[in-house]
Amino acid sequence: MSEYKSEFLKVISERGFLHQMSDPEGLDKLCAEGPVTAYIGFDCTAPSLHAGSLVTIMMLYWFQQTGHRPIALMGSGTTRVGDPTGKDESRKILSDEIIEENKAGIRKIFEKLLTFGDGPTDALMMDNADWLMKLNYVDFLREIGRHFSVNQMIQRDSVKLRLEREQHLSFLEFNYMLLQGYDYLEIYQQTGCRLQMGGSDQWSNILSGVDLIRRKAGVEAYALTAPLLTTSSGAKMGKTASGAVWLNAEQLSPYDYWQYWRNTEDADVERFLKLFTILPLEEIKRLAALEGAGINDAKKVLATEATAMIHGREAAEAAAETARQAFEEGAMAEGLPTIEVPKADLEAGMGILSAFVTAGLCGSNGDVRRNIKGGAVKINDKGEQNEKRSLTLSDLTDDGVIKLSLGKKKHVLLKPV
RNA sequence: GGAGGAGUGCCCGAGUGGCUAAAGGGGACGGACUGUAAAUCCGUUGGCUAUGCCUACGUUGGUUCGAAUCCAACCUCCUCCA
């Protein structure tokens, strides 16, 4: 482990963000000299980013914190083309309106973590649709395609493996590195950006941009990737029962987000504290040293700090307090996710089945029935076995709500309005 | 353009005329054990106004009392040859 001179690489390497770098010495020197500009691209396939993207988002955060200028690139141009790697046939073609909506949702996340503006280290937001949509095929081939050597392209591991195994590789996929390489060049020309970061799966795409900039502009640009994260038990990051761990509050409440981190596996606690919180390393070391049940305290810190990063300190504390009441006191915690139902429904008597479905705890009536059979369903903390049970105003607690629970961890409050 | 192969539930994958809402595995969810962890064990895993009904094995038609299974056309994907 060589010592880095630049603050950025020091922080990044200590906290476990580093996977590969194209020219460590050169990049270190560049970053040590003064403000550098770097970008990371994000797809616009969903209305929010999820926990899987958080690693690279945090890299942008640290980049700015250590005195540099980050660029968040919205890939709405490449999203329109569609990422060719999936196996599903008939991929959904997203309409322009949806892509724009998604883009708006994704922007919000960056606005929380980065400081935007016109200053030398203020973050920028760009969109590759601005230049990709204008491309003319023949011009592109002449201007960009000429700088790509097929001989080299087929040497790339991603390509080589496919060819060696005689697996199909479409021309579209083969071209992807040109598009992303072109992004890098375009951003370099517009902003002087000389560093592109991303997940480790982006490595070869990033390198193609590095090459292109060298050929086209005679400038050395850099590549840096972060490891692809899995939990210690091998699960992909950012997936839960109800889907992805979204970063936007509209997609996933801060309380549920807090819970996601609270349920981190023991073996991941230290790694996640380094990656997803900004606590000092000594503090993390101390927390990670906790053993047995004590590590639960570290998980709470992880949850609160990680939640504070993207939902704000206040929401994080509230989530922590709600969880404390719900789990440690078994009390009726007011901060639990709350669903409003028309008062009239309760007056008429609301079926327990539909109550759990509207609360989002179960996917269908049959799902509720199965869970009732499995003994997972509770109303106001009392087990319920009768699927015909209906909820009425008399079920309201002193706080004026009805608490629905599925299993031990999932609770929703029903509130009449 | 030619020859061959494939398309099954969230995913992988068995099934080649009725016993198939479809084996098995993974994942997920619930339960037990714990520490709101992991591992392990057990259960569940299409929908409904439910002793029945509907939807589902690429699409559309056909054969049949009856089709995921047979036939035809089409769509998509893959491999090899040109």
pTM recorded for the entire structure: 0.86
Check if residue A319 sits with its Cβ under 7 angstroms from strand B.
no
Confidence check: pLDDT of A42 > 60: yes
Rounded to whole angstroms, the distance from the CA of residue A92 to the C1' of nucleotide B5 is: 27
Residue A58's pLDDT band, with cuts at 50, 70 and 90, is very high
At residue A237, the pLDDT reads 59
Q: How many CB atoms lie within 10 A of CB A70?
A: 30
The interface predicted TM-score of the complex, written ipTM, equals: 0.83
Rounded to whole angstroms, the distance from the CA of residue A353 to the C1' of nucleotide B55 is: 21
In chain A, the percentage of residues whose pLDDT exceeds 70 is: 87
Q: Are A37 and A195 in contact (CB under 8 A)?
A: yes
State pLDDT tens for residues A223-242: 999 887 766 655 555 555 45
Distances (CA, A) of A163 to A83, A88, A166, A186: 20, 21, 5, 30
Check if residue A371 sits with its Cβ under 7 angstroms from strand B.
yes
C-alpha A308/C-alpha A66 separation (Å) is 20
Average pLDDT rounded to a whole number, residues A180-186: 92
Q: Which nucleotide is nearest to A362 (CA to C1')?
A: B29
At residue A122, the pLDDT reads 94
Residue A86's pLDDT band, with cuts at 50, 70 and 90, is very low
At residue A87, the pLDDT reads 32
State pLDDT tens for residues A18-34: 988 999 999 999 999 99
Check if residue A23 sits with its Cβ under 7 angstroms from strand B.
no
Beta bridge partners of A125: A72
Q: Which three-class secondary structure state does DSSP give residue A409?
A: coil
Please list, in sequence order, all residues whose beta carbon lies within 8 angstroms of the beta carbon of residue A392, skipping any fewer than 6 positions away.
A346, A347, A349, A350
C-alpha A38/C-alpha A222 separation (Å) is 9
Q: Which nucleotide is nearest to A366 (CA to C1')?
A: B47
Confidence check: pLDDT of A47 > 60: yes
Q: Which long-range contacts (CB under 8 A, 24 or more apart) does A2-11 make?
A: A4/A28, A5/A29, A5/A32, A6/A30, A6/A31, A6/A32, A6/A66, A7/A31, A7/A32, A7/A66, A7/A67, A8/A36, A8/A62, A8/A63, A8/A66, A8/A67, A8/A68, A11/A62, A11/A65, A11/A66
Q: For residue A297, with 0-12 CB atoms within 10 Å meaning exposed, 13-18 middle and 19 or more buried, which class applies?
A: exposed
Q: Are A248 and A50 in contact (CB under 8 A)?
A: no
Check if residue A398 sits with its Cβ under 7 angstroms from strand B.
no
Check if residue A364 sits with its Cβ under 7 angstroms from strand B.
yes
Average pLDDT rounded to a whole number, residues A155-182: 69
Residue A2's pLDDT band, with cuts at 50, 70 and 90, is low
Instruction: Give A231 or A73, the one with higher predicted confidence.
Output: A73
Q: Are A102 and A155 in contact (CB under 8 A)?
A: no
Instruction: Give A89 or A21, the one with higher predicted confidence.
Output: A21
Rounded to whole angstroms, the distance from the CA of residue A402 to the C1' of nucleotide B8 is: 43
State pLDDT tens for residues A347-382: 888 999 999 998 888 888 999 999 998 889 999 988
Instruction: Mark the nucleotides of strand B covered by protein, meaning any atom under 7 Å from a CB.
Output: 11-12, 27-32, 34-39, 43-50, 76-80
Check if residue A381 sits with its Cβ under 7 angstroms from strand B.
no
Residue A162's pLDDT band, with cuts at 50, 70 and 90, is low
Q: State the DSSP code for A327.
A: I
Strand B contacts in A 133-172 (CB under 7 A): 166-168, 170
